[in-house]
Structures are given as structure tokens and as C-alpha cells.
Amino acid sequence: MARWSRPTVWTALVPVVALAAGLLFATSERTALGTDLRSGEITELSQLIRQRDAVAARQQEELVRLQAQVQALTDQAASRDGEVAAVQAGTDVNLSAAGLTPVRGAGVQIVLDDARRPAGGGLPPGATVDSLVIHQSDVQGVVNALWAAGADGVAIMGQRLIATSAVRCVGNTLLLQGRTYSPPFVITAVGDSDEMREELAASRDVTLLRQAADLYGLTYRVSDERQVALPAYEGPLDVRYAQVDAG
């Protein structure tokens, strides 16, 4: 005689789950129309990216074309009108003097570095910790002497300086135009090397630096360079604040 087993909860739920799964698959197929539900969104996004890239490329080509057209018209006007030519030449000179164009030529290189402490960790006689590091006044003194000598361009650590460039030091770290540098500090300048050496020798700040180098082992080294290439200044040009000198 066959035994009858009482139905369990799981026995009753299996058909319900199967029916629900079938309805879900049918609904998904109807919604997707037999395709991947996500593929349409991905395809549309990739197409949009390609379209925007194409638009940007066309705009860049148009910009280059217009810039070339403006330059050609300017050169044509300068060739016919002496006044326009003079203004254009003056603009080029001003851009160079402002440090907004690259400059190349003979010049000098100055290397400034902190002193090395003795192996025992002590200090030289009469020295303090501050005596062994390059200070803001040392870097500024060198830069001022180069400007006074009529340098065509000056750079620190490869960054071009302009009239509003500020040299700041925190400890033995140099802060320049949003970047931080550690010694040795390399200063390069384009100009007459003899005149720049004379101004460096006559500068009071540089004289104090040389004396400290002799006493405590700081590095102050000047070398003539046959070819110095300085980039154009690329920082901000707006004056954020100014103060009238009472003197």
C-alpha cells in the first residue's frame, strides 16, 4: 500500500517560484525586445562622446585657421603701413621684456646650496643652524644683481621670473609661483656674463652670502654658459594686491 506524505511548505512554494520566474523572464524579454537592456545606453553614450570629440576637433581646426588668418592680415598690414609695423615691433619687444616669450643666448648659472654638517653632527665654530642654510635674502640678492646687470631673462629652477615674481623661503625650502623646491637652487640668466659678474661682486647681499660660504661651507658657484634657454613665463599676470610705499 503506497504511503501518503503530508505536503510541506517547500513543496507548495516550488510551483509559485517557478511561475514567478517565468513571468519575470517573459517581462524582461518583452521590455528589451530581445536585446540587452543596457546596450542602448552604452551605445548612446559612446556615440555622444564621438560626436563631442568631432565637434572639438573641428573647433580646434577653426581656431588654428583663424589665428593664421589674423597673423597673415597683421603681417600684410604691417608691410603696407609703417605705423602698424612699428606698433607690432613694439609689441614684440614688450612681450620679450615682460618675460612672455622664450629667450636664448649666452649667460651665467649660479648654484646655491646649504652647507653640509660635520660627520659628528655638530656646528662649525660660531655658527647656528640658520647659518648653514640658504635664505630668501641670498636668492633675492642674486636675482636683483642679475636684473641690475641688464639680464635679458632670469629663471630659478627653470621657472621664468617677471617683475611681479616673489621669492619666498620657509626654512630651507623655496616657494616660487605655486611650487616648492629644495636646495640646491639653480639660477640662470641670459645676458652679458661680465656685467652680471660685476654686479654680483658689487652686491651687498651677495657679498654676505660669499662670506657665509667661506665661513660655514655654503655653496655659491657662478659659471659662464655659452647657451642658456629660458622658457616664457606661464603664471598668472593679474596683480592680486598692492600697497603704496610710504617712502
Does residue 228 contact residue 106 with C-beta atoms inside 8 Å?
yes
- Residue ranges of the domains in the chain? 12-97, 103-230
Which one, of 224, 196, 231, 197, lies nearest residue 104 by Cα?
231
Range from 16-20, 167-171, 188-192, 204-208 carrying the lowest mean pLDDT:
16-20
What letter would DSSP give residue 129? G
Distance of CA 15 to the CA centre of its chain: 68
Residue 171 has pLDDT above 80, yes or no: no
E strands, the chain, are: 103-113, 153-156, 159-160, 168-170, 173-176, 179-181, 185-190, 219-230
Does residue 110 contact residue 224 with C-beta atoms inside 8 Å?
no
Does residue 156 contact residue 180 with C-beta atoms inside 8 Å?
no
Range from 31-40, 128-137, 198-207 carrying the lowest mean pLDDT:
31-40
Categorize the per-residue pLDDT at 151 as very low, low, confident or very high, splitting at 50, 70 and 90. Answer: very high
For residue 10, the model assigns a pLDDT of 47
Range from 28-32, 129-133, 179-183 carrying the lowest mean pLDDT:
28-32
Q: What is the pTM of this model?
A: 0.59
Cell digits of residue 9:
511548505
Options 3.30.70.1880, 3.40.50.150, 3.30.1490.190, 3.40.1260.10; CATH for 103-230 is 3.30.70.1880
Does residue 102 contact residue 155 with C-beta atoms inside 8 Å?
no
